[in-house]
Amino acid sequence: MIERVEKIQGKILKGILQLPESTPYWGILHETGIWPMEKKIWYHRLMLYQNMMTSDNERLGKIVIESQQEQNGNNWYSYTVKIAGKLGIQLEWIETMVKAKWKKEVKKRIEERIGKEMREKEEKYKKMRHLIEQGFGRKKYLMEMGIKEASDTIRRRLEMIDIGNNLGKNRKCKKCNTKETIEHMIDCRRSGLEKDKIIKEWLKETEDITIIRKVNEWLRREVEKNKENDID
């Protein structure tokens, strides 16, 4: 069920950001700072638990949960315990924590969990290699660019721009017969004049909008060159 919900979440985000269907779900979350749906559900469940257990003893929700605490097997309470365990949280903490502190602690633990899972995805998926060692959270360029420009930037950072390899081809550099990658295109100094020179470290840039735009424009020109060479 959760896989289906997250698939819907990914489809919505791809539509809003004008991204291809093949764009990696976790890559989009990394750039936008949006939690996966599973973690959103975890958060609201733990907040509901705190709300119920600190309410009046006559409240039906509290009575049900206290009844489930004495039962064996799977129920709402037992699953909440499992979620808390995954986050390193003890439900007993609500006895000494005010709501604001509980909320802050839950958010902190969930973001740590997301960060851990994100690092695992970065190591596993080649498309996310430019995101390694960058923090999870909404990137500055998303807040300063229009939707088309931001979409182009996400595509480039997630290896979603076809430079000749992505569509079943195996492009090799005509200059040195090495497999074509964006990094190789930079190493081969095919970025034009010195003033247009691109540095590999710029591929990971998320703060300097001028540099991001320069890399995007350079790659656009290189892709056009590749297309012209294919026609030739």
- What's the pLDDT tens digit per position in 88-132? 999 999 999 999 999 999 999 999 999 999 999 988 888 898 898
d(Cα 44, Cα 199) in Å, to the nearest integer? 44
Q: Compare 86 and 229 and report the one with higher pLDDT.
A: 86
- What's the pLDDT tens digit per position in 22-62? 999 999 999 999 999 999 999 999 999 999 999 999 999 99
Claim to verify: residue 18 and residue 121 sit in the same structural domain = yes
Claim to verify: residue 124 and residue 176 sit in the same structural domain = no
Assigned token pair, 108: 């902190």
Claim to verify: residue 6 and residue 82 sit in the same structural domain = yes
Three-state secondary structure string covering 42-100: HHHHHHHHHHHHCCCCCCHHHHHHHHHHCCCCCCHHHHHHHHHHHHCCCHHHHHCCCHH
Contact (Cβ atoms closer than 8 angstroms) between residue 26 and residue 10: no
- What's the pLDDT tens digit per position in 187-226? 875 555 455 688 888 999 999 999 999 999 999 888 887 7
Domain hosting 193: range is: 161-231
Total number of domains constituting the chain = 2
d(Cα 205, Cα 157) in Å, to the nearest integer? 9
Claim to verify: residue 172 and residue 109 sit in the same structural domain = no
- What's the pLDDT tens digit per position in 52-73? 999 999 999 999 999 999 998 8
Claim to verify: residue 115 and residue 185 sit in the same structural domain = no
The torsion of the CA quartet 34, 145, 202, 135, rounded to 10 degrees, works out to -20
d(Cα 88, Cα 1) in Å, to the nearest integer? 24
